[in-house]
Amino acid sequence: RQGKTQTFLAQPAATKAGTHVRVQVNIAYPSDVDSIDIASCDGVGLMRTEFLFGKALPDEETQYRAYRKVLEWAGEKPVTIRTVDAGGDKPVPGFTVEETNPFLGLRGIRLSLARRDIFRVQIRALLRAAVHGNLKVMFPMIATAEEYSQAAALFAEEQTALAARGVAHKLPPLGIMVEVPSVAIAPEAFANVAFFSVGSNDLTQYVLAAARDNAAVAYLNSLRHPAVLRLIASVAAFGHQRGIPVSLCGDAGGDPVAIPALLEAGLRDLSVAPAQLAMAKAAIADVSV
Ligand code: PEP
Ligand code: MG
């Protein structure tokens, strides 16, 4: 079975009915790509940058080199880099703050907008790296359209500053994670984003009010709850109707049990952990959608 599953790696993913499904990978460290054959995936659907922020806050050059390495590895294939999602289950010393309820606190884009000095460094590194490949940038934990416009405005400001200094750069398409229920319930406020990527890990925990890191409530934390699936399906339908690409980069994307439900919900674009790649493609081939 394992050997058979591995044969799916070399082929593009398709369902039994021949529907093509894009399958990208989730990475954290730039070195993650060293062990992945780019031919086995459709690019990077999520690079979690908070791990670069693990110990010390990385300077612009360190970040630029990290992003450039992944973009050059991917060639023409898209690479979606997420701006730092510190806080919640991912504390970063010297950046995140002590809170009684970190999952509902200053995390993701909220923290980046509160600490613009740190955010601007990452934005410059991303704008500079963008000339080396097919970069897309997404913002984590977006809850309101105002947060998206503020983050996009910072990209525009830093772009102007780089241009004035004659530094090579490019403005990438800017999209958002759909992981806070407010976005999934009322996506029409975000009709101007370049793309949506469903973060099913957080979306599920917020819809069911069950922390993702608490084993005692793990029985509640299921993507297959109809409330979660209904939200995902409605975001997929909204994107389809408005011509905005919708993908999913939560762990459910690589879960063979969840994959049929995700395809039924209308998704055709998943991003999975590299170890899940072959299994996800094999599971897709079993679905008749
Ligand atoms: C998610 O929430 O589903 C997601 C992909 O982001 P993270 O797991 O990094 O919070
Ligand atoms: Mg998340």
Q: What is the pLDDT of residues 232-285, one digit of tens each?
A: 999 999 999 999 999 999 999 999 999 999 999 999 999 999 999 999 999 999
Ligand 1 binding pocket (C-beta < 6 A) is 46, 48, 85, 179, 199-202, 249-250
Question: CB neighbours (10 Å) of residue 23?
Answer: 26
Q: How far is the CA of 250 from the centre of ligand 1 (A)?
A: 5
Pairing of strands 246-248, 44-48: unpaired
Distance, in Å, from the CA atom of 58 to the CA atom of 185, rounded to the nearest integer, reads 36
* Per-residue pLDDT tens over the stretch 27-83: 999 999 999 999 999 999 999 999 998 877 899 999 999 999 999 999 999 999 999
Q: Would the pLDDT of 1 be above 70?
A: no
Rounded distance from Cα 179 to ligand 2 centre (Å): 6
Complex ipTM, two decimals?
0.99
Q: How many helices (H) and strands (E) does the chain have?
A: 10, 9
Q: List the residue whose alpha carbon is closest to atom 1 of ligand 1.
A: 199
214 assigned ligand-binding residue:
no
Residue 76 annotated as binding site: no
Segment 178-192, tens digit of pLDDT: 999 999 999 999 999
With contact defined as beta carbons under 8 Å apart, do 45 and 270 qualify? yes
How far apart are the CA of 141 and the centre of ligand 2, in A?
Answer: 7
Q: What is the position in ligand 1's atom list of the atom closest to the CA of 252?
A: 3
Residues within 5 A (CB) of ion ligand 2: 179, 199, 202
Instruction: Return the closest-CA partner of residue 257 out of 230, 219, 287.
Output: 287
Which residues are designated catalytic? 249
The chain-wide mean pLDDT, for the chain, equals 96
50 is in an annotated binding site: no
Nearest protein Cα to ligand 1, atom 6: 199
